[in-house]
Amino acid sequence: MGTIALILFLSILLLILYGFPVSFTLGGVSLLYLLFFVDSVYYPALPQRIMGTMSNYVLLAVPLFIFMGIMLEKSGLAERMLDTMGLLFGKVKGGLAVSVILVGALLAASTGIVGATVITMGLISLPTMLRRGYSPSLATGTIAASGTLGQIIPPSIVLVLLGSVLNVSVGQLFRAAFVPGVLLVLCYILYVVIRAHLYPADAPKVPEAELADFWKAGVFKKVSVAFVMPMLLILLVLGSIFLGIASPTEAAAVGAMGATILTILQGKFNWNICKKVMEETTHLTCMVFMILLGATTFSFVFRQLGGDHFLIELITQSNLSSMAFLLVVMLIIFVAGFFIDFIEIIFIIVPVVAPIFISFDIDLIWIGVLIALNLQTSFLTPPFGFSLFYLKGVAPPEVTTSHLYKGIIPFVVIQMVFLFLIILFPKLIGL
């Protein structure tokens, strides 16, 4: 029966790689195996499992954070932040790229949605960087990598879903991921500054005349307007979670309301904007929850077939240490990220390996942060790196796919080195 469970896992993986829809493949194939290989006495437990998952209070944070992110995208705050910070760091070599990274981090802490961040920054900052003489590979790599920070910096949809699958506190995951997220931002900035000093032609300074105009014309007011409101929203959402005032779901509701108020204050709110935000939120939420339904069915059938016990015995008999198993899982997730979406990895691979981590008595909060960092690379690695697709879709014609691929390589290397540092030094996340 354990072998049949592994065949179920591999057959689903192959069908997804072949191009079949994820949610229907997960649910449909799992139901077929349930009918043919599982005793009918266990059938009534499946609807109860599905309803238990769908009524999970924590998962209400998903549509609320999605709504918050899309509403902020429509408010125009991202554009204002990028313009202001680009000039604020204009005297620094590579200052415009540094500003893109910092704004990416702020948008990540405000929205948690990678697609919205990458598209927004691609539309606003890429033409400016190219016009000021930046190397296309450095410009695209910086924007794509900065956009993926929403995977690890709270509030993150990835961390919410991982908390649900690993059955751990989302608030604890948020707290544990905050410091690694900030350190990763600093690593990106360090790389950009070093490259700008070694190759000045790749990252020229902002023209002096433009900087002079910026600094003499009410700079304090410009900076205040650009950053005070987004920072207030970040403090409301993350501060309420970290201080224990609100649960992640309640904080997500505060964030959704706060984003709506900010859009109203910017004068961008109208019925059409509201309708578009609700439509996009519904579309993304339905996609996530359809996959979640299929994943719940797969997880139930896999365990009824004894797949989790079979894997634990297999690992035990192979005499793999807990660290060796962790490295194998990290490698599998990294390679899977080349071919399938992060949501699919969370709902297919993580439920299979979670019981083994529990049997090794490994802290699942630590595992959740490691997986989130690893999944971040899935947005950057070809052929299916979604950040690359998003950016290519809004990039000028002169920016080629090879520019994108060359640009993201240093950032992927930084992420992998950083991931191994977190594995070697768990205290970086407070464990």
Taking only the tens place, the pLDDT of each residue in 141-185 is: 998 888 888 788 887 778 888 988 888 888 889 888 888 988 999
Residue range 289-308: average pLDDT?
80
Q: What does DSSP assign to residue 111?
A: T
3-state helix, strand, coil in the chain (%, to 5): 80, 0, 20
Tell me how far apart the alpha carbons of residues 118 and 388 are, in angstroms, rounded to a whole number.
9
Residue range 286-298: average pLDDT?
80
The tokens for 358 are: 């529990």
Q: Is the pLDDT of residue 307 over 90?
A: no
- Collapsing DSSP to helix, strand or coil, 267 comes out as coil
CA nearest to 19, candidates 384, 286, 380, 348:
384
Tell me how far apart the alpha carbons of residues 182 and 109 are, in angstroms, rounded to a whole number.
10
Q: Break the chain into its structural domains and give their ranges.
A: 2-429
pLDDT band at 410 (very low <50, low <70, confident <90, very high): very high
CB atoms within 10 A of CB 69: 29
Q: What is the pLDDT of residue 217?
A: 62
CA nearest to 154, candidates 95, 226, 260, 68:
68
Q: Is the pLDDT of residue 288 over 80?
A: no
* Cβ atoms of 165 and 351 closer than 8 Å: yes
Residue range 58-81: average pLDDT?
76
* pLDDT above 90 coverage of the chain, percent: 9
pLDDT band at 189 (very low <50, low <70, confident <90, very high): very high
Those residues with Cβ within 8 angstroms of residue 281's Cβ, 6 or more apart along the chain or in another chain = 63, 66, 67, 70
Q: What is the pLDDT of residue 300?
A: 84
CA nearest to 377, candidates 429, 349, 424, 417:
417
Q: What is the pLDDT of residue 214?
A: 64
CA distances 385 to 100, 136, 368, 390, Å, are 20, 18, 21, 9
Q: What is the pLDDT of residue 191?
A: 93
pLDDT band at 251 (very low <50, low <70, confident <90, very high): confident
- Give the DSSP per-residue string, 239-275: HHHHTTSS-HHHHHHHHHHHHHHHHHHTT---HHHHH
* Cβ atoms of 386 and 117 closer than 8 Å: no
pLDDT band at 431 (very low <50, low <70, confident <90, very high): low
Question: Of 23-32, 62-71, 113-122, 402-411, where does mean pLDDT reach its minimum?
Answer: 113-122
* pLDDT above 70 coverage of the chain, percent: 88
* Cβ atoms of 340 and 384 closer than 8 Å: yes
Residue range 53-77: average pLDDT?
77
Q: Is the pLDDT of residue 290 over 90?
A: no
Sign (positive or negative) of CA dihedral 186, 377, 298, 352? negative
Higher pLDDT, 16 or 35: 35
Mean pLDDT of the chain: 81
Tell me how far apart the alpha carbons of residues 159 and 371 are, in angstroms, rounded to a whole number.
9
- Residue 221: exposed, middle, or buried by beta-carbon count in 10 A (0-12, 13-18, 19+)? exposed
Question: Of 193-202, 349-358, 384-393, 408-417, where does mean pLDDT reach its minimum?
Answer: 384-393
Taking only the tens place, the pLDDT of each residue in 96-152 is: 888 888 887 877 766 556 666 677 677 777 887 888 788 999 989 998 888 888 788
Residue with tokens 């992998």: 416
